[in-house]
Amino acid sequence: MTAEPVSAEYPAKPPVWLVDHLDQWRQRRVSGRAGHALIVMSQDVEEASLFCHLLAAQEFCAEASDGSACGQCPSCRAFGQGVHGDFCVVRRSDGKVSIGIDQIRQATQALQQTPLYGSIKVVLIEAADQMTLAAANSLLKILEEPPGNALVLLTTAAMWQLPPTVRSRCQRLPLPPPTADQAKHWLETERGMDAETARRALRLADGKVISAVMLEREGALSLYEALALSFDETDPSLGPPPIWSKVSAAALLEALLLCAERRGREAVLGRQPIGTDWLRLHSCLGELYDRVRRGATPAQDILVAEVYRLYRNCGHETFDSASSRFLTSLGRMDLTV
């Protein structure tokens, strides 16, 4: 049982459905079969990141057993406080659309240094499919000729978007999602959520349990739930739901992206023709979201009106032309920065 969180962001105790995978990695390490690079795949990117944090903590800890770091040693305490000198996390910076070559170079240089605590240095690249091609190419050298004490962890929910040259040089681990009962039980017993909060969090996170924890931690449940409900209750005669204007453009677009993704997937699986509209809507919203993340600040009322018009058109004959106009109008939105 660990006493400290595994990091400032994540809990220390591995969720029950991940314990075996962590223990198996430990056994591979002990028997010399663990590689120097591992791609961890999960549709829940937060779950993949949690797993990698737990795995790294276990790698650093001299007393680790049964899939858990001890939580007590100097290495574990430093890790729990987010100040472990042998652990480097690379993720897309705020306002950027990709992970750049400079970030990867810095991380690989860190791998060349002597470990401070034990015998290993670990770099975690979160959502590694967001690396530019140049960044991925700069990673290849360390994957081809790794220092003896290096471990590179990559997470992704979109394996196919990683270059084949990177994929072929890494071991791969697809994480199993928990069952619905496991997820609910874990949120209630290990994260202290009441049954109703756990149910809401899972629904808002589309069943992705670690993402549900993050939503709940951010106090965003009420907001996201109100947003999610507004997508179901839109009455064309009333115009955009008022809450769309009360939240940030990024929060609105994130929630709408999740909604479009879920509905698109359900429709495609059900072979409903509207599925392609939802996916196209997702693509349009994703373009706009990227621009907002890069610093574009379209007037809120214009953004809400444009997004609402597009959303209402989804599934109608006019959607193709409406979505084309929407993409064209993004240029004009940029001019309002």
Binding residues for Zn ion (CB under 5 A): 61, 63, 69-70, 73, 76
Least distance to Zn ion, CB of residue 71, Å: 6
Q: Which residue in 163, 115, 113 sits closest to 143, CA to CA?
A: 163
Distance CA 311, CA 306 (A): 9
Nearest residue to Zn ion, by Cβ distance, number only: 61
Least distance to Zn ion, CB of residue 61, Å: 3
Element of type H or E holding 11:
none
Nearer to Zn ion, 3 or 133 (CB): 3
Element of type H or E holding 325:
helix 319-334
Listing DSSP states for 66-119 in one string gives TTB--S-SHHHHHHHTT--TTEEEE-PPTT-SSB-HHHHHHHHHHHTSPPSSSS
Indicate the residue type of 127. Answer: A
Q: Tokens 């899972």 appear where?
A: 202
Least distance to Zn ion, CB of residue 26, Å: 13
Residue 53, helix vs strand vs coil: helix
**Token pair recorded at residue 290:** 């990227």
Nearer to Zn ion, 71 or 241 (CB): 71
Listing DSSP states for 255-268 in one string gives HHHHHHHHHHHHHH
Nearer to Zn ion, 57 or 214 (CB): 57
Around Cβ 189, how many Cβ atoms within 10 Å? 11
Nearer to Zn ion, 62 or 133 (CB): 62
Q: Which residue in 167, 168, 149 sits closest to 29, CA to CA?
A: 149
Least distance to Zn ion, CB of residue 10, Å: 16
Around Cβ 332, how many Cβ atoms within 10 Å? 11
Nearer to Zn ion, 1 or 269 (CB): 1
Least distance to Zn ion, CB of residue 74, Å: 8
Least distance to Zn ion, CB of residue 58, Å: 9
Q: Tokens 């839109």 appear where?
A: 234
Nearer to Zn ion, 56 or 183 (CB): 56
Least distance to Zn ion, CB of residue 106, Å: 27
Nearer to Zn ion, 19 or 251 (CB): 19
Q: Which residue in 108, 134, 92, 100 sits closest to 37, CA to CA?
A: 108
Side-chain half-sphere exposure of 221, counting CA atoms within 13 A: 16
Least distance to Zn ion, CB of residue 118, Å: 10
Nearer to Zn ion, 22 or 310 (CB): 22
